[in-house]
Amino acid sequence: MAVEIAHDTHRQVAVMYCTTTDTAFGPIFQGPGCAEDADDFLNWLPRHPDVSLTLPLVGHGEDPRDYTDTGLERMVQRWHDAADNRRGIEDV
């Protein structure tokens, strides 16, 4: 029972999928480095859970399958914002 990344190098897209149900879910990561971005998000998420965006009685926000569709989109946006902030610090 895990979440993995499916990646199409030709189209430069990556998605998360559940290995238990063989179902893709969540936002599409696009562009060069999209598989690395999706993997970075999966590593970031357990350290920044938000149970207010998860499905009732499912989990604690450490697994992307815990989230509602809208909640997962919000978490990806937070991850993007955090990455932008890190890049801004590194550019100084």
Rounded CA separation 60/41 (Å): 16
Rounded CA separation 49/84 (Å): 19
Burial 30-68 (b: 16+ CB within 10 A, else e): eeeebbebbbebbeebeeebeeebbeeeeeebebbbbbe
Structural domains in the chain (count) = 1
Averaged confidence pLDDT in the chain: 92
Task: State the pLDDT at residue 89.
Answer: 55
pLDDT in tens, 38-74: 999 999 999 999 999 999 888 899 999 999 999 999 9
pLDDT in tens, 2-45: 999 999 999 999 999 999 999 999 999 999 999 999 999 999 99
pTM of the predicted model as reported, rounded to 2 decimal places: 0.88
Q: Which domain holds residue 31?
A: 3-91
Residue 24 β-bridge partners = 17
